[in-house]
Structure 1
Amino acid sequence: MAFALTGFKRVVSVGAIGTGSGSVKSFCTYHTNDDAATVETAGYFNDLASDLQAGDIIMAGLDLDGTPALKNYIVSAVTASVVTITAQTTA
């Protein structure tokens, strides 16, 4: 499948790193029938390039029509049209 905006929600602003534009970070949720391998494919969240910024957190409910899983991601980079995420690797 592909990214579906209906599964994405910005929940709250969680804090600021410094001051000025881009300093406030967000906590978001995303629910999908896609599995982790699909969500982690380069470009999956590109439709949100104008809405996300580096440091935003995405808590994702994955493979909801199969074997549901929960995985956390951090937006590691955003350019004009490309969103890069990194999966949480520590507890």
Structure 2
Amino acid sequence: MAFQLNGFVRLASIGAVGSGANATKALCTYHTNDDAAAVEAAGYFDNLAKDLAKGDFIMAGLDIDGTPQLKNYIVTTIAAGVVTIAAQTTA
């Protein structure tokens, strides 16, 4: 499957790092029937390149129609319309 905008919600601004454009970070949720491998594939969130900023958090409910799983991601870079995320590595 591909990214579905109706599964994405920007919940709140959660603080700022520095000042200027994209200083304020966001907490977002995303629910999908896609599994972690699909969501973590290159280009999955590229449709949101103008709506996300480096450092934004995405709490994702994955594989909702199968074995649901929760994973947290952080936006690590956005360059030339390409959004790169990393999965949470600590509890």
* TM-score normalised according to structure 1 size: 0.98
Counterpart residue number, 2:30: 30
Task: Give the whole-Å Cα distance in 1 for the aligned partners of 2:49 and 2:18.
Answer: 22
Instruction: Give the letter for the 2:26 counterpart.
Output: S
- Whole-Å Cα distance in 2 between the matches of residues 23 and 86 of structure 1? 19
In the TM superposition, 1:45-84 aligns within 5 A as 45-84=45-84
* SS state at 1:29 partner: strand
Paired with 1:47 and 1:21, the residues of 2 have a C-alpha distance of: 19
- Structure 1 portions without partners, runs of 5+: none
AA at the equivalent of 1:50? K
Number of residue pairs matched? 91
Aligned 8 A contact 1:50 1:80 in 2: no
Equivalent residue, structure 1, for 2:42: 42
1:21-41 deviation line (CA, Å, top 9, x unaligned): 111000000000000000000
Instruction: Identify the residue that residue 86 of structure 2 maps to in structure 1.
Output: 86
- Deviation at residue 80 of structure 1 after TM alignment: 3.0
Could you report, residue by residue, the CA deviation over 1:13-59 in whole angstroms, capped at 9, with x for unpaired residues? 00000111111000000000000000000000000001001000000
Extract unaligned runs of 5+ from structure 2. none
2:81 is paired with a residue of what secondary structure?
Answer: coil
Q: Separation in 2 of the partners of 1:45 and 1:62?
A: 14
- What fraction of aligned residue pairs are identical, expressed as a percent? 67
TM-score normalised to the size of structure 2? Answer: 0.98
Aligned residues: CA RMSD: 0.5
